Chain A
Amino acid sequence: MTQQTPKELKRELLKERVILATAAPVLALAVAVALTSVILLATGKNPFEPYSLMVNYVAEWPDVQVLVINQTVTYYFAALAVAIGFRMNLFNIGVEGQYRLGACIGGIVGFNLPAPGVLKMIAVIVTAMVVGALWAGIAALLKVTRGVSEVIATIMLNAIAAAIIGYLIQRDVFGHQPEGSNAINTGELPESAWFPGIPYGDYEIYGFLVIAVLCGVGYWVMLNRTRFGFDLRAAGASESAALASGVSGRKMVVIAMLASGALAGLIGMPVLLGESHTFMSDFPAGYGFTGIAIALLGRNHPLGMAFGALLWAFLDKASTTLDDNGYESEISVIMQGIIVLAVVIAYESVQRWGLKRQQQKVGAELAAAAKKNEEVAL
Chain B
Amino acid sequence: MRPVRVLNGTASPAPPPHPHHHLLRHLLSSAPRECAITASTETAAVELRGITKRFPGVVANHDIDITVRRSSVHALVGENGAGKSTLMKILYGMQKPDEGTITIDGEQVSFSSPGDAIARGIGMVHQHFMLADNLTVLENVVLGGEKLYGIGSRARKKILEISKAYGLGVNPDALVEHLGVADRQRVEILKVLYRGARTLILDEPTAVLVPQEVDALFTNLRELKAEGLAVIFISHKLGEVLSVADDITVIRRGTTVGTAIPSETTPRALAELMVGSELPVPETTESTVTDRVVLDVKGLTLGAEGRKPLLDHLTFAIRAGEVLGIAGVEGNGQTELIETLIGMKHADSGTITLDGEDVTAWPTRKRREQGVGYIPEDRHRHGLLLEAPLWENRILGHVTEAPNSKGFWLDPKGAKADTERIVEEYDVRTPGIEVTAASLSGGNQQKLIVGREMSHTPRFLIAAHPTRGVDVGAQAQIWDAIRQARHEGLAVLLISADLDELIGLSDTLRVIFDGRLVADADPATITPQELGSAMTGAASGHLEHPEDSPPGNIADQNSAQTGGEDR
Contacts and interface: CB of A to CB of B under 8 A. Distances in A.
Interface residues of A, number: 41
Given A230-B399, A231-B399, A360 B410 contact: no
Interface in B375-430: 376, 381-388, 392, 395-400, 405, 408-410, 412, 429-430
Interface in A242-296: 243-248
Given A237-B387, A238-B385, A13 B396 contact: no
A358 B435 contact: yes
Give the secondary structure class of A's interface.
helix
Q: Give the most central of B81, B400, B434: most A CB within 10 Å.
A: B434
B499 interface: no
A244 B399 contact: no
A224 interface: yes
Interface in A339-378: 355, 358-370
Contact of B384 (A231, A241, A355, A365): A241
B363 interface: yes
A245 B57 contact: no
A244 B410 contact: no
B57 A368 contact: yes
A224 B439 contact: no
A237 B431 contact: no
Contacts, number: 122
Given A226-B408, A227-B405, A364-B55, A358 B364 contact: no
A359 B343 CA distance: 34
Contacts of A156: none
Contacts of A225: 409-410, 412
B344 interface: yes
Interface residues of B, number: 50
A142 interface: no
A201 interface: no
Interface string B195-235: 00000000000000000000000000000000000000000
Given A234-B385, A238-B385, A244 B434 contact: no
A362 B438 CA distance: 10
B268 to A, nearest CB: 24
A10 B438 CA distance: 17
B408 A364 contact: no
A42 interface: no
Contacts of A4: 431
A87 to B, nearest CB: 13
A358 B55 CA distance: 13
A364 B343 CA distance: 40
A230 B430 CA distance: 23
A245 B368 contact: yes
Contacts of A364: 55-58
A147 to B, nearest CB: 16
B428 to A, nearest CB: 11
B387 A355 contact: yes
B265 interface: no
Contacts of B344: 243-244
Nearest to A363: B58
A363 B81 contact: yes
Contacts of B381: 238, 240-241
B342 interface: yes
Nearest to B398: A245
A227 B400 contact: yes
A237 B395 CA distance: 14
A243 to B, nearest CB: 6
A114 interface: no
Contact of B410 (A224, A238, A361, A365): A224
Given A366-B429, A366-B431, A244 B364 contact: yes
Given A246-B368, A364-B55, A226 B409 contact: yes
A202 B91 CA distance: 71
A240 B377 CA distance: 12
Interface string A1-38: 10010100110011000000000000000000000000
B565 to A, nearest CB: 26
A248 B384 CA distance: 16
B396 A241 contact: yes
A360 B395 contact: no
A229 interface: yes
B313 interface: no
Contacts of B365: 245-247
Q: Give the most central of B368, B381, B385, B405: most A CB within 10 Å.
A: B385
B58 A244 contact: no
Contacts of A9: 431-432
Contacts of B438: 355, 359
A244 B409 contact: no
A362 B429 CA distance: 9
A244 B382 contact: yes
Interface string B433-466: 0111011100000000000000000000000000
A281 B521 CA distance: 78
Contact of A227 (B367, B410, B429, B435): B410
Contacts of A361: 57, 431, 439
B383 A241 contact: yes
Nearest to A14: B434
Contact of A230 (B384, B395, B439): B395
A240 B431 CA distance: 28
B432 A227 contact: no
B396 A245 contact: yes
Contact of A358 (B60, B382, B392, B436): B436
B374 interface: yes
Contacts of A359: 438-439
B59 interface: yes
A245 B439 contact: no
A368 B60 CA distance: 11
Contacts of B412: 225
Given A6-B431, A355-B387, 19 more contacts: A4-B431, A9-B431, A9-B432, A10-B434, A13-B434, A225-B410, A226-B408, A231-B399, A243-B344, A243-B364, A246-B365, A246-B368, A355-B438, A355-B439, A358-B439, A362-B430, A363-B58, A364-B56, A366-B430
25 contacts: A10-B432, A225-B410, A227-B400, A230-B395, A230-B399, A233-B388, A237-B387, A237-B388, A240-B382, A241-B396, A244-B342, A244-B382, A245-B396, A245-B398, A246-B367, A246-B368, A246-B397, A248-B363, A355-B387, A362-B431, A362-B440, A364-B57, A365-B431, A366-B430, A367-B59
Q: Which 5 A-B pairs have the closest CB atoms?
A: A246-B365, A245-B397, A364-B57, A246-B364, A365-B431
Interface of A: 1, 4, 6, 9-10, 13-14, 224-231, 233-234, 237-238, 240-241, 243-248, 355, 358-370
